[in-house]
Amino acid sequence: MSRLVLKFGGTSVATIDRIRNSARHVKREVDAGHDVAVVVSAMSGKTNELVGWCAEAAPLHDAREYDAIVASGELVTAGLMAIVLQEMGVQARSWQGWQIPILTSDAHGAARIQSIDGGEIVRRFSERNEVAVIAGFQGLHEATGRVTTLGRGGSDTSAVAVAAALGADRCDIYTDVDGVYTTDPRVVPKAKRLDRVTFEEMLEMASLGAKVLQVRSVEVAMNHNVKVFVRSSFDDPSHPKPGTLICAEEDIMEQQVVTGIAFAKDEAQITLRRIADKPGVAAAIFVPLAEAGINVDMIIQVVSDDAATTDMTFTVPGADFERTKALLSERREEIGYGVLQGTDDVVKVSAIGIGMRSHAGVAARAFRALSDKGINIRAITTSEIKFSVLIDAAYTELAVRTLHTLYGLDKA
């Protein structure tokens, strides 16, 4: 008998009928003899509605009260799931984050989980054969006794953390797709569902634009070696599809050089020209951006022929484009640049695969293939298991399809 955590996202619990269908997945695992904990998100659209009410009540509102409000969406779903399971003859009860408790930091709206005491849930597994239905996305700051929330996508993190705390054999994330694909099937119809993906690859995919899992949930899974299945709640509960297993590298027998192609449209490029080439210039640019909470990704520095000045190009999230320009304009004299240029009409396309560690020339093949298609590369970054290129947004689909075919993923 195994211990499982099943997580259902907002689209999987959007209506009572969908909650019933998700509950059938739970009942299947209970009938198979497993101990089951369920983590649920708010019904689709509910969190946005609650956030909207907060903004309508007061544009600048108390973050603690904000958390008390937006955490209520998951409470409703947890109660409804428990009722539906009881109606099916499954012993179940709902749990709020503070009841377990899931203890977090006091960063309201973006709290981080510090500890989870799963003792009472485990005791009820053995004594009552009871399914625990847990409201995701939320916890408790013990010192203040206030409810906290984990930020958007926090229910995924809740589920993986609960699985680690309970010593679960795996955590099944049920969503509206049946697994992790080699790329977005809407862009590349030949995209294939992957049977297995390593934690490291999934972490890169999640951070580079793939929306299947939240980045923090993958980090928690990797740190605690929690196997995660991504599955579709819309499958027939009596004949579910296998989904995609996210696991440690040693659990994968043979790995392709490139596992997937990801792309992120929310990118902007900033270029500062004719900066004095002297110590401290990079700090003058990037420290203020860091203090403003602006994440910088790709960085390219090109020294001029006279070796006296340099050009600096980097990328920031598209949402921070105007704020970044304003901040740098305010510090023009301090930084000492000649011209500030920028565009948000760019896309970052990335190839990910742990097989890159043992194969040379993987990125070079991509550069040649993109060149043959007339696609200009604005910037490049690489790491041990991925490389990314910044290109004009108009070439997004062509670039993704080109790389998908180049690395044999059409036939994966």
- Shared domain check, 195 and 50: yes
pLDDT computed for residue 210 by the predictor: 67
CA atoms within 13 A on the CB side of 405: 11
Q: In this predicted model, what pLDDT tens digit does every residue of 46-55 receive, in sequence order?
A: 999 999 999 9
Q: In this predicted model, what pLDDT tens digit does every residue of 67-123 receive, in sequence order?
A: 999 999 999 999 999 999 999 999 999 999 999 999 999 999 999 999 999 999 999
- Shared domain check, 86 and 47: yes
- Shared domain check, 270 and 207: no
- Shared domain check, 350 and 230: no
Residue 112 is assigned to a ligand binding site = no
Cα gap 79→61, rounded to integer Å:
28
Does residue 32 form part of some domain? Answer: yes
Residue 381 is assigned to a ligand binding site = no
- Shared domain check, 399 and 316: yes
- The CATH number of whichever domain residue 165 belongs to comes to 3.40.1160.10
Is-cis flag, bond preceding 101, omega within 30?
A: yes
pLDDT computed for residue 412 by the predictor: 63
Q: Sign of the C-alpha dihedral, residues 168, 174, 235, 46? A: positive
pLDDT computed for residue 305 by the predictor: 64
Does residue 48 form part of some domain? Answer: yes
pTM to 2 decimals? 0.86
Cα gap 404→184, rounded to integer Å:
10
- If we measure between CA atoms, which residue out of 341, 346, 327 comes closest to residue 275? 341
Does residue 256 form part of some domain? Answer: no
Does residue 373 form part of some domain? Answer: yes
Q: Are 394 and 349 in contact (CB under 8 A)?
A: no
Does residue 22 form part of some domain? Answer: yes
- Shared domain check, 318 and 204: no
- Shared domain check, 155 and 31: yes
Q: Sign of the C-alpha dihedral, residues 228, 242, 211, 361? A: positive
Does residue 255 form part of some domain? Answer: no
Residue 175 is assigned to a ligand binding site = yes
pLDDT computed for residue 310 by the predictor: 87
pLDDT computed for residue 304 by the predictor: 66
- The CATH number of whichever domain residue 378 belongs to comes to 3.30.2130.10
- Shared domain check, 270 and 194: no
- Shared domain check, 176 and 284: no
Does residue 254 form part of some domain? Answer: no
Does residue 143 form part of some domain? Answer: yes
Residue 9 is assigned to a ligand binding site = yes
- Shared domain check, 193 and 159: yes
Residue 280 is assigned to a ligand binding site = no
- Domain total of the chain: 2
Buried b (16+ CB within 10 A) or exposed e, 215-226: bbbbbbbbeeeb
- Shared domain check, 210 and 64: yes
Give every residue of the chain whose pLDDT is below 50, as ranges.
none
Residue 321 is assigned to a ligand binding site = no
Residue 7 is assigned to a ligand binding site = yes
- Shared domain check, 184 and 99: yes
How many residues in total does the chain contain?
412
pLDDT computed for residue 355 by the predictor: 87
Of 220, 249, 278, which marks where a domain is finished?
249
Structural domain boundaries, residue 388: 261-411
SS (H, E, C) the chain: CCEEEEEECHHHHCCHHHHHHHHHHHHHHHHCCCEEEEEECCCCCHHHHHHHHHHHHCCCCCHHHHHHHHCHHHHHHHHHHHHHHHHCCCCEEEECHHHCCEEECCCCCCCCEEEECCHHHHHHHHHHCCEEEEECCEEEECCCCEEEECCCCHHHHHHHHHHHHHCCCEEEEEECCCCCECCCCCCCCCCCECCEEEHHHHHHHHHCCCCCCCHHHHHHHHHHCCCEEEEECCCCCCCCCCCEEEECHHHCCCCCCCCEEEEEEEEEEEEEEEEECCCCHHHHHHHHHHHCCCCCCCEEEEECCCCCEEEEEEEEEHHHHHHHHHHHHHCHHHHCCCEEEEEEEEEEEEEECHHHHHCCCHHHHHHHHHHHCCCCCCEEEECCCEEEEEEEHHHHHHHHHHHHHHCCHHHC
Residue 8 is assigned to a ligand binding site = yes
Of 217, 249, 281, which marks where a domain is finished?
249
Of 197, 223, 249, which marks where a domain is finished?
249
pLDDT computed for residue 227 by the predictor: 96
